[in-house]
Amino acid sequence: MKVSESNFSRRAFLNTARAATLSLCASPLLSTMANASLREKKGAKIDFDTGPARTGFVSDDRYLLHTQGARHPESPERLRAIHRQLKSSGLDKKITPIAPVIDPLPYIRLVHSEAHMDRVRKQAHDEAICRLAVSGALSAVDAVCSGKVRNAFCAIRPPGHHAANNGEFGFCFYNNIAVAARYAQQKHQLAKILIVDWDYHHGDGTEWAFYEDPSVLVFSTHALYAFPGSGAADKTGSGDGEGFNINVPLPRGADDRAIIRAFTERLVPAAESFQPDLVLISAGFDAREDDPLGDFNITDAGFAQLTELMMTMAATYANSRVVSILEGGYNTRGLALAVESHVQALLGA
């Protein structure tokens, strides 16, 4: 989807974002300060307890059938643990179920080649479940954009943010969030999409999908030294997309303060300039403390703060539209607790 220079100036975006970043860097900000700043924009009054049913939840037992072999870290137990925790906490009664019902094939083709799809058919245990994951993300976008719910969390698998056009990569087959962004643009005519990725691993597939596209702002925090080894800070997009890809690599042991500072100093000014119509989150919880595939120390409270920041941003610019899509997280108990914290924040609890 192309956005005309007259409606959305790349130069204006870059200049405004740089100026805002300089002013923010004068003193470190906590997420609460960023939230207060965003509420003041345009006189916005934000009340997370009003409007339609607050939070949708995409789930389907067929997601449990996907497997990549015994003892693989991306296992069905990840979703079972999430379901147990939401039931134990009582949150399962507060969320609105969303079924994955949309045929994703026409929209997968907006991102992936036929050759890639052929590879996935050969590589996946059941390619239909990979498509079902995309369907779940699209169904959440529909529910949010139609006003059925204000925001949604997709408990889907396999994950997607590493998927480009070379078959399975990093446990990912189809890029769920990239297809969701294209779907929102085509089906719901939303011009500007913000994708935020807080997974421990860089979402190289998502970067690939939008690297030359000024209509999708991609923001990522991650470990540069970890798989897949991409996500350098100087990878900022190319052509019309220059400046619309923001990578913020974090050091070993990055904690709540480090990631919240990255969001407030880099994302907040960029979002102010970009003003997205929809916020999509690649919600990877392998950045959480004690994850076997990561070495960050983000706590459940930290994920809640990040979620609240995204909600405030969406309320300010995007009519409160947020769709969060599960990516990584391999300590199943830790993943379940982080998702509980994330969903509580989406509910405004």
Is position 342 annotated as part of the catalytic site? Answer: no
The span from the CA of 155 to the CA of 283, in Å, is 10
Name the active-site residue from 116, 162, 201, 342.
162
Residue 18 CB contacts under 8 Å (≥ 6 apart), including other chains: none
Sheet (strand 149-154) strand order:
96-98, 53-58, 149-154, 322-326, 278-283, 193-197, 216-222, 245-249
The span from the CA of 176 to the CA of 146, in Å, is 20
Classify residue 284 as exposed, middle or buried by CB count within 10 Å of its CB (0-12, 13-18, 19+): buried
Q: Which are the catalytic amino acids?
A: 162
